[in-house]
Amino acid sequence: MPVASTHPDSHTAAVEPHMPRRRVLAWLTSVGLFGSAVLSAVSNLVFIKPRATYGQPARFAIGKPDDFPSGTRISLDIKRVCIVRDGPKMAAISTTCTHLGCIVGISDTGFACPCHGSRFDQDGTVTGGPAPKPLPWFKLSLAPNGELEVDKGTQVEPGTYLNV
Ligand code: FES
């Protein structure tokens, strides 16, 4: 026959079997919260860090100086740069229109944009149309292997030539 306990800890003793379950639930909750915090932090880092690059690399080789005869202005449309050679002087001028980014073409007087009619002289100075700024000049250098290298990450003052 069951006997009712009158001991002050009798209630605690009755609850005792449930304590491990509460601890397990508390531990699972803690692990779940910690895990979701870690997962959230990792996904934020993955989201913020760029995983792809778009467009051309800023620095690239374009060939030997002899590939560009004196007096030529050769537009490398895929690279969006025009290589200019006048005797021993060479330069790289951007062919990206400073209005909205179309590729400018070579014209008799310099460069002309087919999109909205901006015009530039042979040094890239704006001579007409909506373009707000001149075409930038990029650093042109000679690599140790004799190849010309354009660095579109480095702009130079217009009129800065590489002597080859
Ligand atoms: S993009 Fe060249 S004039 Fe507008």
**Using one digit for the tens of pLDDT, what is the confidence trace for 98-109?**
999 999 999 999
Domain range annotation of the chain: 20-54, 59-163
- For the chain (164 residues), the mean pLDDT of every run of 10, in chain order, is 48 59 87 92 80 74 94 93 96 97 96 96 96 97 95 95 94
Which DSSP letter does residue 102 get? P
Distance from the CA of 133 to the center of ligand 1, in angstroms? 11
Predicted local distance difference test score (pLDDT) of residue 47: 78
- From the CB of 113, is ligand 1 less than 6 Å away? yes
Any bridge partners for residue 86, and if so which? 89
The C-alpha atoms of residue 49 and residue 110 are separated, in whole angstroms, by 41
Kindly report each contact of residues 125-130 with a partner whose C-beta sits within 8 Å and lies 24 or more positions away, as own/partner. 125/158, 126/98, 129/99, 130/99
Predicted local distance difference test score (pLDDT) of residue 48: 78
The CA-based angle 108-137-113, given to 5 degrees, is: 40
Predicted local distance difference test score (pLDDT) of residue 59: 93
Predicted local distance difference test score (pLDDT) of residue 49: 73
Contact 66, 75 (CB under 8 A): no
Distance from the CA of 86 to the center of ligand 1, in angstroms? 27
- From the CB of 100, is ligand 1 less than 6 Å away? yes
- From the CB of 103, is ligand 1 less than 6 Å away? no
Atom of ligand 1 nearest to the CA of 117: 3
- From the CB of 95, is ligand 1 less than 6 Å away? no
Give the number of residues written for the chain.
164
Which CATH number, 2.102.10.10, 2.60.120.10, 3.40.50.620, 2.60.200.20, labels domain 59-163?
A: 2.102.10.10
φ/ψ of 32, rounded to 5, equals -65, -45
